[in-house]
């Protein structure tokens, strides 16, 4: 028998910042942001600190978090911090990882999927923008998939690469190498925004979403914050 997706929702009586925004107004066009990041914390404490800053920023700006559903590592840091500051969190995790990644049950909405493909599809559908914090090969794969879909015109949602302590610099150099060797050609540009500080992530998401909604050119959207 095929396993079905399970959706576990928790109804909260309090009005969260994610529901109304810090000033009672949601940022136009940004309901939820999908964050890709590691299930480990890495060697540099700056990575966990960045995840905490991002979680606080999402909550303070009334933006919901969509993430991979686990509790360890940077995933746990961003989710727990968002919840701590009154934000709304949606965790999406495949059944086979629910124990390995210690599924976080304190989130507002918990979705247990049948496989990784369904997990990624739901994360995409429920998000208005994407942020890549430091992480491993899974984080890299998720980031590259969104970059590819954007390149092929399948979505126009902002993609923010959080280059904390230069973590993503080797990847950015690889993209530059691909472009120099004409594997990334004009007309098939890879559109994303790079930020170096955690405090700049949420402002970048809001600014890029606003620019995209106003029909601003790709050159203006692909900016360094």
Residue 12 lies in a domain: no
pLDDT at 9: 42
Dihedral Cα 181, 186, 187, 188, nearest 10 deg: 30
Task: Calculate mean pLDDT across residues 113-123.
Answer: 96
Structural domain including 217 reads 29-221
Q: Among 6-15, 82-91, 162-171, which stretch is predicted with the lowest mean pLDDT?
A: 6-15
Please state the domain count of the chain: 1
Residue 151 lies in a domain: yes
Residue 172 lies in a domain: yes
Q: Tell which residue, 172, 150, 201, has the closest CA to residue 36.
A: 201
Residue 21 lies in a domain: no
Where would I find the beta strands (DSSP E) of the chain? 6-9, 32-36, 64-67, 89-94, 109-113, 129-132, 159-162, 193-195
Residue 16 lies in a domain: no
Q: What is the pTM of this model?
A: 0.85
Residue 6 lies in a domain: no
Residue 115 lies in a domain: yes
CATH number of the domain where residue 92 is located: 3.40.50.450
Residue 117 lies in a domain: yes
């Amino acid at each position: 028998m095929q396993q079905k997706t399970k959706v576990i929702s928790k109804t909260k009586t309090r009005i969260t910042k994610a529901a109304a925004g810090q000033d009672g107004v949601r940022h136009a066009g940004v309901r939820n942001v999908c964050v890709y990041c590691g299930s480990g914390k890495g060697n540099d404490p700056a990575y966990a600190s960045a995840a905490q800053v991002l979680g606080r920023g999402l909550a303070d700006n009334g933006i919901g978090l969509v993430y991979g559903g686990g509790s360890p590592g940077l995933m746990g840091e961003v989710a727990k911090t968002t919840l701590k500051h009154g934000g709304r969190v949606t965790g999406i995790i495949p059944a086979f990882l629910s124990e390995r990644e210690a599924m976080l049950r304190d989130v507002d909405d918990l979705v247990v999927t049948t496989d990784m493909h369904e997990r990624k599809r739901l994360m995409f559908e429920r998000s208005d923008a994407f942020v890549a914090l430091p992480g491993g090969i899974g984080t890299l794969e998720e980031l590259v998939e969104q970059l590819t879909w954007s390149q092929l015109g399948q979505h126009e949602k902002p993609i923010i690469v959080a280059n904390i302590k230069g973590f993503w610099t080797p990847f950015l150099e690889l993209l530059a190498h691909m472009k120099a060797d004409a594997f990334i050609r004009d007309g098939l540009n890879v559109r994303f925004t790079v930020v170096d500080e955690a405090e700049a992530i949420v402002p970048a998401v809001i600014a890029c979403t606003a620019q995209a909604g106003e029909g601003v050119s790709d050159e203006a959207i692909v900016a360094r914050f």
